[in-house]
């Protein structure tokens, strides 16, 4: 659940409801069904091919170094687009708490982002246990709010069912993808279980059951309780419907804590990822230059600059949180397409069938990204062009395998694993015998 629940639940369900109305329930249901083969695919990969590098290592094994570098670049681009939106979401909840407007929300967002940058410069990180606790509290708050608020509103706001047409259902699904990204975390978590073959499937089954119940309730409650008011703090409205002003205030505080904790992990991990990609020639060498530190400084400054520009564009009305959410989702979708395609190539038998079963609907959802696909496409072209140019300059040079910072550029992963190194293949054969054994996982 910690790999799935994050700040997206603070606003994304409301954005989906605005895009498709009550028909957005179809998008929720379709993505829940899609989660089954997704979870099974990554569960199979985690058990059969446990690696420290996660998706980047899987894509490298299936499609080679260029595809692996593109995967990392698209993931980093998702963070560049998503982090300003997440900070502004937190700002909206503070503005709701204080009764202020957009200017205060923007100021709070800027302050939160600056605080996270400074924390990473100083090497201050949010522990995975604290982050997981915040997610657990959020899950409980949503569950209680839905159970209290929904009975009195369950018949409200169902007409018209599809106010923007049926095509809008696909748009809503494209927005909601953000809430369903996280199953790939199993690739790194498998080694932490005492008995992965027994315990990991149980954890996945429990997580899916909890997610299905929580998301179904949240989807219906968003439509019936909060969809008609156009609020920028819809979860606070939902909790207030069940618990009054105290619930609204508590939700705002929780939203800020969860937002800053998530941003802390995202920003620091993405800085490491950018430096790793620079070493792999997938990003300009500038990102990897400079003295070595726990958190590379140059990527941090680049993230600060791009986020300030995007936040300024948000406040000026040049773009919207919905646009950044869709751009982020488009990047995640491309990452998943590459990972599932590689899984279909690496796995065999039933595992390959399940991977293909997941791949086809993900490609369909990608089609609804429309112009936002230009964001990951641009990142992929930049990555490929830089690597191609580097190969032309040094045709015999072999690029190093990127560090597993890619796996850590996610709110769910543990920061203390950010320097794990990956290998192109998840398994290696000993020279003297045919026995397969897991490759070692090194830690700093």
- Residue given tokens 């998702």 in the structure block: 78
Least confident range from 32-36, 165-169, 213-217, 252-256: namely 252-256
Q: Does position 335 have pLDDT exceeding 50, yes or no? A: yes
Q: Does position 429 have pLDDT exceeding 50, yes or no? A: no
Q: Which CATH number fits domain 7-392: 1.20.1740.10, 3.40.50.970, 1.10.3720.10, 3.50.50.60?
A: 1.20.1740.10
Least confident range from 23-37, 182-196, 306-320: namely 182-196
Percent of the chain surpassing pLDDT 70? 84
N-to-C CA span, the chain: 27
Q: What is the chain's mean pLDDT, rounded?
A: 81
Model pLDDT for residues 159-210, shown as the tens digit of each residue: 888 888 999 999 999 999 989 988 887 766 777 778 888 888 998 999 899 9
Could you tell me if 31 and 173 are in contact, meaning their C-beta atoms sit under 8 angstroms apart? yes
Could you tell me if 243 and 252 are in contact, meaning their C-beta atoms sit under 8 angstroms apart? no
Half-sphere exposure of 442 (CA within 13 A, CB side): 6
Model pLDDT for residues 271-300, shown as the tens digit of each residue: 888 888 888 888 888 887 766 667 888 899
Q: What DSSP string describes 237-273?
A: HHHHHHHHHHHHHHHHHHHHHHHHHHHHHHHHHHHHH
Would you call 209 exposed, middle or buried from its count of C-beta atoms within 10 A (0-12, 13-18, 19+)? exposed
Percent of the chain surpassing pLDDT 90? 30
Distance of CA 132 to the CA centre of its chain: 15
Provide the 3-class DSSP secondary structure of residue 437.
strand
Check residue 413 and give its pLDDT: 39
Q: What DSSP string describes 270-331?
A: HHHHHHHHHHTTSS-GGGG-SS--SS-HHHHHHHHHHHHHHHHHHHHTSS-HHHHHHHHHHH
| Token output for 330 | 């488009």
Least confident range from 139-143, 221-225, 234-238, 411-415: namely 411-415
**Backbone phi, then psi, for 437, in 5-degree steps?**
-145, 155
The average pLDDT across 149-160 equals 78
Q: Does position 307 have pLDDT exceeding 80, yes or no? A: yes
Domain boundaries of the chain, sorted by first residue? 7-392
Model pLDDT for residues 340-396, shown as the tens digit of each residue: 999 999 888 898 999 999 999 999 999 999 999 999 999 999 999 989 888 887 665
| Token output for 62 | 């299936």
Distance of CA 240 to the CA centre of its chain: 27
Model pLDDT for residues 64-118, shown as the tens digit of each residue: 889 999 999 999 999 999 999 889 988 999 988 888 888 899 899 999 989 988 8
Nearest Cα residue to 67 out of 76, 58, 78:
58
Check residue 417 and give its pLDDT: 37
Q: Does position 402 have pLDDT exceeding 70, yes or no? A: no
* pTM attached to this predicted model: 0.82
Check residue 173 and give its pLDDT: 94
Alpha-carbon span 60 to 55, nearest angstrom: 8
Model pLDDT for residues 407-425, shown as the tens digit of each residue: 444 444 333 333 333 333 3
Q: Does position 438 have pLDDT exceeding 50, yes or no? A: no
């Amino acid at each position: 659940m910690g790999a799935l629940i994050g700040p997206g639940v603070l606003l994304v369900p409301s954005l989906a409801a605005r895009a498709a109305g009550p028909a957005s329930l179809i998008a929720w249901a379709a993505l829940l069904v899609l989660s089954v083969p997704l979870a099974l695919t990554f569960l199979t990969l985690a058990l059969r091919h446990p690696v420290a590098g996660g998706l980047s290592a899987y894509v490298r094994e299936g499609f080679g170094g260029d595809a692996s570098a593109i995967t990392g670049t698209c993931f980093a681009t998702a963070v560049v687009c998503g982090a300003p939106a997440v900070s502004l979401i937190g700002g909206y909840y503070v503005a709701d708490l204080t009764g202020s407007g957009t200017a205060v929300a923007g100021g709070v967002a800027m302050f939160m982002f600056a605080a996270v940058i400074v924390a990473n410069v100083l090497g201050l990180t949010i522990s995975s246990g604290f982050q997981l606790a915040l997610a657990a509290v959020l899950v409980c708050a949503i569950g209680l709010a839905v159970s209290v608020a929904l009975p009195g509103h369950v018949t409200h706001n169902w007409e018209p069912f599809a106010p923007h047409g049926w095509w809008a259902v696909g748009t809503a699904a494209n927005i909601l993808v953000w809430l369903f990204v996280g199953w790939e975390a199993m690739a790194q978590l498998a080694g932490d279980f005492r008995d992965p073959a027994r315990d990991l499937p149980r954890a996945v089954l429990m997580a899916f059951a909890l997610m299905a119940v929580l998301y179904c309730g949240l989807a219906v409650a968003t439509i019936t309780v909060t969809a008609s008011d156009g609020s920028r703090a819809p979860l606070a409205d939902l909790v207030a419907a069940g618990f009054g002003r105290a619930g609204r205030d508590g939700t705002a505080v929780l939203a800020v804590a969860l937002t800053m904790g998530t941003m802390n992990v995202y920003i620091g991990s993405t800085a490491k990822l950018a430096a790793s990609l620079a070493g792999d020639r997938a990003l300009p060498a500038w990102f990897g230059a400079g003295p070595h530190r726990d958190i590379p400084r140059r990527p941090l400054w680049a993230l600060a600059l791009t986020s300030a520009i995007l936040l300024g564009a948000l406040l000026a009305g040049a773009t919207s949180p919905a646009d950044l959410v869709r751009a982020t989702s488009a990047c995640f979708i491309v990452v998943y397409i590459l990972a599932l395609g590689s899984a279909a190539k690496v796995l065999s038998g039933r595992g390959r069938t399940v991977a293909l079963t997941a791949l086809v609907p993900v490609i369909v959802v990608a089609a609804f990204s429309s112009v936002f696909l230009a964001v990951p496409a641009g990142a992929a072209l930049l990555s490929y062009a830089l690597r191609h140019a580097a190969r032309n300059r040094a045709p015999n040079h072999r690029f190093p395998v990127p560090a597993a910072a890619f796996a850590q550029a996610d709110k769910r992963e543990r920061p203390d694993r950010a320097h794990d190194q990956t290998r192109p293949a998840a398994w290696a054969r000993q020279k003297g015998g045919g026995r397969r054994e897991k490759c070692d996982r090194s830690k700093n």
